[in-house]
Amino acid sequence: VTVIIYRIRLHPLSKYPGPYLARFTDWYSVYHCALGDRHIDFYRLHQRYGPIVRYGPHRISINTNTALRDVYHVRANVQRSTLFNVFSHFFKVSTVLTTISRKVHVSKRRIMTEALNATTMKGTEEVTLENIRFFCDRMLDASPEKSREWSSGRNMTLWCGWLLTDISGDAIFHKSWNMLRSTENRDIFHILGEGAGGLVMVGHMPDILKLKIDRILFRKATEGTYKYQKVAAEQSDWRLQQAENIKDPDIFGSLMNTKDPETGRSLTREELIGEAGFLIIAGSDTTASAVTATIFYLLHYPQCLEIARKEVDQHFPNIEDIRSGESLTACKYLYACITEAMRLCPSVGGITPREVMDGGIVIDNQEFPAGTELGVPHYALQHMEEYFPQPFSYVPTRWLLASQHEDGVPLEEWKLANSAFAAFGVGRTQCIGKVQAYSRAMTIIARLLRLFDMRLDPDSSIGEGNPVLGEGRHRKNEFQTWDQFTSRHDGPMVQFRPR
């Protein structure tokens, strides 16, 4: 009772508004993690309470572009939240994504940057294209008599997920899970998402693990997390055993052979497994969400689809020319289409928290003491009308300058939008694979546009908003996601026919 009274009345953060339950317990966050609506809840909270919201006893969400810049700045007096310690409970070590120590993070990031060099990534391009070709072939029904008709509906969440997970298996380990070709390993696709969701849920209240009640309250999420770790370990151990036999470049092999250029340290087996677990999610789940969301929005905004198609046709007379390079980079409108889809549907819709260190920090003229967890909610920020006029509409041209496109925007408006965009993170923890993710997404979508006519399955509305789905999910033209740190979703159902 004393603790509750202190947190409500006397705590240094008691002056900040927020839901009553969240003032004295983190069960509020655990509850919304379990529901999968944490991203929507942050949007609701900021609409109700303003730019600064207390969403836990020691947790503050700030929904401004200045906070995005200052909280995650390289020199900000913060470190990763202890929430990320939960990763080590399952993987035994921290990773470049989860380590709290700045010194350790810098060393791990140097190794990752060295390993993910241009030569390694270029060496994985052909196997990536092989998977994309097979994926495109599977968009049509097999029987020759139906080859010119509309195909049956394809669930793009599943197909894009299988594609990107296969690509990740090949690119990271030189061993695909063959999800596109076989049903045998397709459960892994769901395990990855459930594992990430389990990590973030118990991370908000580590006592759930200490008391061993996670298997009672959140059995499916906990089992998913252990399965996720097992997948990473089995794939990593197989690759370690094949070290002498595999000569072609892949990411895991590069990680095995890379040393920190300053200390000479290389990664241990446990660290390799941990980084592999992170890379599987980063290389498959997040990119698959971006591709799926882009397809959803292009089909709900057909005028945008036609502009993107004309651009692809102009730059690629030959389908096999669609690969990373100058011509793909020149598809500015397609790039903008993917960026706008990630604005509306960020792969990480909630918060990546940072803990204030000794000495405190000032954000938006507010002083926060040591121990406070701060963060910026991606979905909520990227739907702020202050930064994005018509925030729930799909407007790719907001990412193009007037000098690039007839419907482009002035420089100041473009800068403002970029200042509030966090799909790949910012600061020292910005995604290392951003360029590769865009390249893969653009290659997949460009090939689909070049090869096929596409339409939404008239007998399905999967993926669309509907009031029956709950508060904040009523917009028909908004792709629906469930926040499990990364985004879980279903649909859309899409039909294809050859052009």
Flag whether the pTM goes above 0.85.
yes
Q: Is 431 annotated as a binding residue?
A: yes
Peptide linkage before 249 cis (omega within 30 of 0): no
The confidence score (pLDDT) of residue 1 equals 85
The confidence score (pLDDT) of residue 215 equals 66
Please state, in angstroms and rounded to a whole number, the distance separating the CA atoms of residues 489 and 180.
Answer: 19
91 and 99 Cβ atoms separated by less than 8 Å:
no
> Rounded to the nearest 5°, which phi and psi values hold at 421?
-110, 125
The confidence score (pLDDT) of residue 320 equals 96
Please state, in angstroms and rounded to a whole number, the distance separating the CA atoms of residues 45 and 40.
Answer: 9
Which residues have a Cβ under 8 Å from the Cβ of 408 and sit 6 or more positions away? 397, 400, 401, 402, 414
The confidence score (pLDDT) of residue 454 equals 97
The confidence score (pLDDT) of residue 221 equals 64
The confidence score (pLDDT) of residue 209 equals 66
The confidence score (pLDDT) of residue 277 equals 83
Q: Residue 446: CA atoms inside 13 Å, Cβ hemisphere, count?
A: 31
Residue with tokens 């030959």: 318
Q: Are strands 481-484 and 486-489 parallel, antiparallel or unpaired?
A: antiparallel
Quick one: tokens of 452? 């096929």
The confidence score (pLDDT) of residue 89 equals 63
3-state DSSP assignment of residue 344: helix
Q: Where are the domains of the chain?
A: 72-347+423-498
The confidence score (pLDDT) of residue 102 equals 80
CATH no. for 72-347+423-498: 1.10.630.10
Helix axes 27-35, 187-204, angle to 10 degrees: 160
pLDDT along the chain (499 residues), means of 10: 92 97 92 91 98 97 98 92 73 76 83 81 89 96 71 96 94 90 85 68 67 66 74 89 87 88 87 86 86 99 98 97 96 98 94 95 98 97 98 98 92 97 82 88 98 97 97 97 89 96
